[in-house]
Chains A and B, each alone.
Chain A
Amino acid sequence: QKEVEQNSGPLSVPEGAIASLNCTYSDRGSQSFFWYRQYSGKSPELIMSIYSNGDKEDGRFTAQLNKASQYVSLLIRDSQPSDSATYLCAAIHGSSNTGKLIFGQGTTLQVKP
């Protein structure tokens, strides 16, 4: 079992809809969580970071963290075809003081025009 789990998808949503991406993690000590967007063959691009329980909003993106449930999510409002990509959830292990990222397998999002 991976330390960070995501549904690989694909998740298909119509243009303009809300896309909801989910991630669970097994290390209860993990403190820092990140969402990266990765287009095919390209590098991961940081979308959001979240460290505290609750919601964090940035433009069309909202990250949600629930440490009790060990659950992180990313909501994308008004989804656009350009949002079609793989979304990687990443965590820093609770025992790490070096910041190495543990990635989930990624969820492929398809936004249909």
Chain B
Amino acid sequence: AAGVIQSPRHLIKEKRETATLKCYPIPRHDTVYWYQQGPGQDPQFLISFYEKMQSDKGSIPDRFSAQQFSDYHSELNMSSLELGDSALYFCASSLGPRLAGGPFIQYFGAGTRLSVL
């Protein structure tokens, strides 16, 4: 079965540079979530999109922006990169919603490892 596809898998950037991470959800999934996982930490929710509209926002820096396109893929744009942005970035997708009690089961992509030097 098709899974969530993320690209690139690895990214090395210098401070103050920009980065774009891409996510292709499981076919027919209409909801995309982005999470950031620092070393030794649990994944932290950044932002989500449902049907190409932002549906929720977490602890995402103002330097970051994201969108979901008509084909449901999503991109996370990161500007003015800082050393602290070095982390694993995961995209997850689910088939939404929004039936009462809908499970929102999320499946994760392999992630993008971002290293800021």
The residues of A with any CB-CB pair to B shorter than 8 Å are 31-32, 34, 36, 41-46, 49, 51, 88, 92, 96-106
Contacts and interface: CB of A to CB of B under 8 A. Distances in A.
B60 to A, nearest CB: 12
Interface of B: 31, 33, 35, 41-45, 48, 50, 55-56, 58, 88, 90, 92, 94, 96-98, 101-111, 113
A49 B56 contact: no
A42 B110 contact: yes
In this complex, which of A42, A103, A104 has the most chain B Cβ atoms within 10 angstroms of its Cβ? A103
B54 to A, nearest CB: 10
Nearest to B3: A43
B43 A88 contact: yes
Contacts of A92: 104
A43 B106 contact: no
Nearest to A50: B103
Contacts of A100: 33, 45, 48, 56, 58
18 contacts: A32-B104, A41-B113, A46-B106, A46-B107, A51-B103, A88-B42, A96-B56, A98-B31, A98-B50, A99-B33, A99-B48, A100-B56, A100-B58, A101-B33, A101-B43, A102-B45, A103-B44, A105-B41
